[in-house]
Every structure is written in structure tokens, then in C-alpha cells.
């Protein structure tokens, strides 16, 4: 649910009851009801173009880099040599753009359930959708859980850039999907998933961390600051089959690091330092 009133878009959702985020709009550029969801693009006064799915902000040109860089480079740098990478969701192309900075990668699969999101992102969010121009990218329009079911031990890194656990993204927050991801990883594989905000939906985050903790040797939650998400915060659940993803095994070369605006090796480690209430939420500290 959302409201457009007096030139302001307000994001309203039962996931953050009683809280709304409002952004001033200059123009409603696009609106379409696909088979799966409502897709809207707005030109904002201060945040550039903004992609919205079912009334929920997915990305703005102002601050998308924070989410895309952290969701991507934490798992990519936690792996010593990622060659095969899968993106589930991520139809805006931002995660693809960041994966493409890693020369060691030989194959990038993206599984997006809604082809219209890709089409719209290429038209209106070109600075992100540039990720689709990489020759290593293969696009699969399919359900992510079904796509990975027969790819046993195939990927080094899996990144899940999902919408919230409402509508088409709901299955991506449940144990069967995580079990399939684990099966699709190589022995030293790493996953990172959109992990919601422990400030606004601690129950969802706790459920994710409980699932990850049971399935993977290492599971941790990293914080990301994104001003145009409700609460200004989101997280990523990062899991390692054999090594702790909180410590980068590779440092990005200077020619890549100079083009990033959020991620570096120091914030990789610092993002996993949690406030006390979050430690208790994850049963890491009584």
C-alpha cells in the first residue's frame, strides 16, 4: 500500500506498522501491473529516479550504491576465488554491476521472476541496469527456488536480492529455499541475502538467522545504511559453508576500490558488529 498526495509518495506497509517514509515527487514516470506485482517509477525532487514494487521502495539513484555494494562485495570478498555466481531477484541490475567488477568471475546467472522489472530498469534505472551489459551474464526468467533445485554444488556465491516477504518474495524467506541454496553451493560457497531491518522487523530477521544458523557452519548479519529505506537501515544475512564471511579473504584492488562509494575491507568487518539488543535477538549474547 502507498499514497501519493500533494506531490509526496509515502511508503506504507504492515511490515512497519505506524511508520511511513515520504519522498517528494516531481513526476510519475511509469506504472504497470505485471503478472506478479505493481511496478512504478517516480522522478523524485532530491533522490533521482525511484523504483517501487507493490508500493515498496526498491532503489533510488541517490543511495542505491550502499545496498548494492554491500550485498555484493561482502560475499564476493569473503570467497577466495568466486568464478560462478548466481543472483536471485535483482532485476534492476545493480548487483550484476557490482559482481562485474570482479575479474575472477567467469559466469553470472541471474534468475528474476518478473521480466518486466528488468525491462523497466533498463529504461529508467540505467546506472544500475548497466550490469546486464556484461557478456558473462545469462538471464533466466523463472522462480528462484525452482531454478536452483537441480544445480547441485554448482555456485561459489549466491546473492539473493529479493523484495520483502510479501507476494513473490515470500518463498525466499523460508527454510526450503535456504536448503536448496545450500545444495547449490560448492563446498566453500558463500551466500548473502536481503535480510530486512532488525530495527523494524526483528521477528523476520530472527527467523532468517535461525534458519541460517541451523544450515550453515557460519551465519552472520551485516548492517547497511540506506536513507531511503524505512528506518534508514537494512541488513544482509551472510552464510559460509567453510569459512567465516565476516572476514574478507580478498581485498579489492585499488582500481576497483576507487570506484566504490560505500564498501571497503574495514566496513566489511565493522558491518557485523551488532548493537546489544540485536545480539540478544540472535541469541549471541544474553
- Residue numbers annotated as active site: 161
Q: Grid coordinates in use for 262?
A: 560505500
Strand residues in the chain grouped as ranges (E): 2-5, 8-12, 20-33, 38-44, 49-53, 56-60, 84-89, 107-112, 137-141, 155-161, 185-194, 218-225, 233-240
Residues with Cβ within 8 Å of 62's Cβ and at least 6 positions away in sequence, in order, are: 44, 46, 47, 48, 227, 228
Element (H, E) at 26: strand 20-33
DSSP letters, 177-190, are HHHHHHHHEEEEEE
> Three-class SS of residue 163?
coil
CB 281 within 8 A of CB 206: yes
Q: Which residues lie below 8 Å from residue 64, measured CB to CB, with a gap of 6+?
A: 92, 94, 125, 127, 128
Cα dihedral 127, 132, 220, 165 sign: positive
Amino acid at each position: 500500500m502507498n499514497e501519493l498526495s500533494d506531490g509526496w509518495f509515502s511508503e506504507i506497509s504492515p511490515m512497519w506498522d505506524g511508520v511511513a517514509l515520504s519522498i517528494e515527487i516531481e513526476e510519475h514516470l511509469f506504472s504497470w501491473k505485471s503478472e506478479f506485482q505493481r511496478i512504478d517509477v517516480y522522478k523524485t525532487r532530491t533522490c533521482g529516479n525511484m523504483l517501487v514494487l507493490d508500493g515498496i521502495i526498491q532503489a533510488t539513484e541517490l543511495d542505491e550504491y550502499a545496498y548494492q555494494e554491500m550485498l555484493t562485495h561482502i560475499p564476493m570478498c569473503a570467497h577466495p576465488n568466486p568464478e560462478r555466481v548466481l543472483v536471485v531477484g535483482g532485476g534492476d541490475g545493480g548487483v550484476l554491476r557490482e559482481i562485474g567488477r570482479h575479474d575472477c568471475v567467469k559466469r553470472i546467472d541471474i534468475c528474476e521472476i518478473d521480466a518486466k522489472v528488468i525491462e523497466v530498469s533498463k529504461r529508467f534505472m540505467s546506472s544500475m541496469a548497466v550490469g546486464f551489459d556484461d557478456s558473462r551474464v545469462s538471464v533466466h526468467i523463472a522462480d528462484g527456488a525452482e531454478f536452483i533445485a537441480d544445480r547441485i554444488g554448482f555456485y561459489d556465491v549466491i546473492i539473493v536480492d529479493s523484495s520483502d516477504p510479501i507476494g513473490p518474495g515470500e518463498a525466499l524467506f523460508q527454510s526450503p529455499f535456504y536448503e536448496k541454496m545450500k545444495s547449490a553451493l560448492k563446498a566453500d560457497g558463500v551466500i548473502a541475502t536481503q535480510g530486512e531491518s532488525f530495527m523494524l522487523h526483528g521477528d523476520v530477521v530472527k527467523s532468517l538467522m535461525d534458519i541460517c544458523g541451523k544450515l550453515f557452519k557460519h551465519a552472520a548479519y551485516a548492517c547497511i545504511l540506506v536513507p531511503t529505506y524505512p528506518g534508514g537501515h537494512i541488513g544482509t544475512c551472510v552464510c559460509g559453508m567453510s569459512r567465516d564471511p565476516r572476514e574478507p579473504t580478498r581485498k579489492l584492488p585499488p582500481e576497483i576500490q576507487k570506484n566504490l562509494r560505500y564498501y571497503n575491507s574495514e566496513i566489511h568487518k565493522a558491518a557485523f558488529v551488532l548493537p546489544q539488543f540485536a545480539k540478544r535477538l540472535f541469541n549471541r549474547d544474553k
